Structure 1
Amino acid sequence: MKKRLTQGLLIACAGWSVNAFALGYTGDFEACMRKAQSQSNLINTCQIKEYKAQNKRMKKLLKITLKTTADSEQALVTQSQEVWLQRRDNACNIKNKKAKEFLISNSSCAVQMTMSHADMMEVRLHNKNMK
């Protein structure tokens, strides 16, 4: 009986940790891409939606980062984020473009870079909270 209870608790804890620490693509993106198959216009639509979701996630993580950062370092974090945004926009050729104007090459690049950056931010916050 105790063994089953312990196993149940471990499974529940693992589920909570996965929900609190969600790296990578959203489940919606994976489902969208399966439906799109090889239709480039649908793939681009999926990528634009995922870019928006990852960008929103990144902004949320930035707010949390700023709240948990010493006042003396907040300007540096903000400046670093602005430099990263400029690099992403230049690398993906999305400077001064709205997401709905992205070509498939723009959206693919923007999704990858934004997701990677958000993942990195999330790992840093997780590691900072573990200390």
Structure 2
Amino acid sequence: MKLFIQGIVLCCAGLSMQSFALGYSKKFEVCMRSVSNQTEGIKKCQIKELKIQNKRVKKLYKYTFKNANPIEKSLVEQMQSKWYQQRERACNLTDKKPRNYTVNHSSCALQMTLSHADMLEVRSGNKVLK
């Protein structure tokens, strides 16, 4: 009986971890393992992941905005606008096209985008992506 209960607990823990999609995508992890410290390869992996995380931010932003009360909607819009400005300044993103970023630019943009997406996801109660 004890083994059965432990099995149920492990299954529930596994299911809860699957539904919480914080962090990098599996594709990014696989890509980074395959490039083994090649600068151009790392940059390509980062840019692909940046696109994924940008889509995630947009989806989470739309969900947050849609579910905000009328008073909060303005604040949500301002927060998103300020975040984009902050990311551009912090990462020195003068060029809007990710393919023209250096490794440092793409790394910075990816880290900030991932953190913002994670924050929005936690704030939404993880109701969006599944």
TM-score by length of 2: 0.87
Q: CA deviation at 1:11?
A: 2.3
Tell me which residue corresponds to 1:114.
113
Tell me which residue corresponds to 1:55.
54
Q: CA deviation at 1:24?
A: 1.3
Residue correspondence of structure 1 range 68-83 to structure 2 within 5 A: 68-83=67-82
Q: How many residues align?
A: 127
> Quick one: which amino acid aligns to residue 81 of structure 1?
Q
Take 1:67 and 1:7, find their aligned partners in 2: how far apart are those partners? 40
Take 2:63 and 2:18, find their aligned partners in 1: how far apart are those partners? 17
| 8 Å CA contact retained: 2:24, 2:114 | yes
Tell me which residue corresponds to 1:9.
8
Take 2:51 and 2:60, find their aligned partners in 1: how far apart are those partners? 14
Among the aligned pairs, what percent are the same residue? 52
Tell me which residue corresponds to 2:32.
33
Tell me which residue corresponds to 1:18.
17
Q: CA RMSD in A?
A: 1.9
99-108 or 62-71, which deviates more: 62-71
96-105 or 113-122, which deviates more: 96-105
Structure 2: stretches of 5+ with no match in the other structure: none
Q: CA deviation at 1:39?
A: 0.6
> Quick one: which amino acid aligns to residue 41 of structure 1?
E
Residue correspondence of structure 1 range 88-99 to structure 2 within 5 A: 88-99=87-98
Structure 1: stretches of 5+ with no match in the other structure: none
Q: CA deviation at 1:53?
A: 0.8
Take 1:51 and 1:69, find their aligned partners in 2: how far apart are those partners? 26
Question: CA-to-partner distance for each residue in 1:64-120, whole Å, 9 max, x for gaps?
Answer: 211221122111101110111011012112244211111111100000000011111
